[in-house]
Amino acid sequence: MALRSFFVGGNWKMNGNKGILGELILSLNTSSLQDDTEVVCAAPSIYLDFVRSCLDPRIGVAAQNCFKVSKGAFTGEISPAMIKDCGADWVILGHSERRHVFGESDELIGQKVAHALESDLGVIACVGEKLEEREAGTTEEVVYAQTQVIAENVKDWGKVVLAYEPVWAIGTGKTATPEQAQEVHEKLRVWLRANVSDDVADSVRIIYGGSVTGANCRELASQADVDGFLTEAGLQA
């Protein structure tokens, strides 16, 4: 079985300004990080260049979204080429807020995943169910369908991190129990084994996002199939 390195992503969302981000960057640059843990910060696109130029090189930088082509008449969008030109190496795609606030379809997310990977960006691909879907018992159906579209657009799984984010636990203070998180992570790995390959199932990092805190992170991290976190940074502009 492949040894999976731990991955911690910080999603700054639409928060911060240069002053606040500068303070956060200073804190990160002077912090003690585990050598075997990969840390990536997802900054607002307008600050990607600023963050990458100030943040210690041992910490990766991600965009929070991108479009499915390299350039064109798509006002307000950014491309993987632009992200790379700012020195960032990752992008978050399929986040629940992109799906449910901005109406992005599974198909569009899949197209974005394909183009980002073709552009040599690492992809943090998000899947997760809403509260009503969990209560209806359709969690597996929902996350499998979302993962299927992602998988159809991936050729090199070495550049993909799969993030399970139950929508009902994002920014609500509710958290999936370690057992609930492990259950879905384990089922996703079983799905990858059946639908992609044993090697991918063993090697792909599946990280958890959803009200991760200092109080619950150790127990979550101790679960066999939880390979890290995608957390929301508490930034106030």
Distance CA 1, CA 13 (A): 35
* pLDDT, tens digit (0-9, with 9 covering 90-100), for 143-201: 999 999 999 999 999 999 999 999 988 777 777 889 999 999 999 999 999 999 999 99
- Helices 106-118 and 139-151: crossing angle in degrees, nearest 10, is 40
Average pLDDT, the chain: 94
Q: What is the pLDDT of residue 1?
A: 47
Residue whose C-alpha is closest to residue 131's, from 167, 171, 99, 96 = 167
Residue 237 has pLDDT above 90, yes or no: no
Residue 50 has pLDDT above 90, yes or no: yes
Tell me how far CA of residue 62 lies from CA of 7, 15, 189, in angstroms: 13, 15, 24
Looking at residue 98, its amino acid is R
Q: Where are the domains of the chain?
A: 6-232
pLDDT tens readout for residues 56-65:
999 999 999 9
Task: Please give the average per-residue pLDDT across 36-61, as a whole number.
Answer: 97
How many alpha carbons fall within 13 Å on the CB side of residue 84?
A: 13
Rounded Cα–Cα distance for residues 55 and 73 (Å):
32
- Could you give the dihedral angle defined by the CA atoms of residues 83, 87, 90 and 93, in that order, rounded to the nearest 10 degrees? -20
Element (H, E) at 41: strand 37-42
Which residue do the tokens 């900054």 mark? 43
Residue in this structure with the two tokens 């930034």, named with its chain if needed: 235
| Mean pLDDT across 99-118 | 98
Closest to 95 measured CA to CA, from 197, 198, 12: 12
Q: Please state whether beta strands 6-11 and 228-232 pair in parallel, antiparallel, or not at all (unpaired).
A: parallel
High-pLDDT (> 70) share of the chain, %: 97
- Cα–Cα separations (whole angstroms), residue 150 to 1, 44, 168, 195, 202: 23, 23, 21, 12, 17
Tell me which amino acid residue 114 is. A
The topology (CATH level 3) of 6-232 is TIM Barrel (3.20.20)
Q: What percent of the chain has pLDDT over 90?
A: 87
User: Rounded to the nearest 5°, which phi and psi values hold at 156?
Assistant: -115, 100
pTM > 0.85: yes or no: yes
Q: What letter represents residue 185's amino acid?
A: H
The residues annotated as belonging to the active site are 95, 165
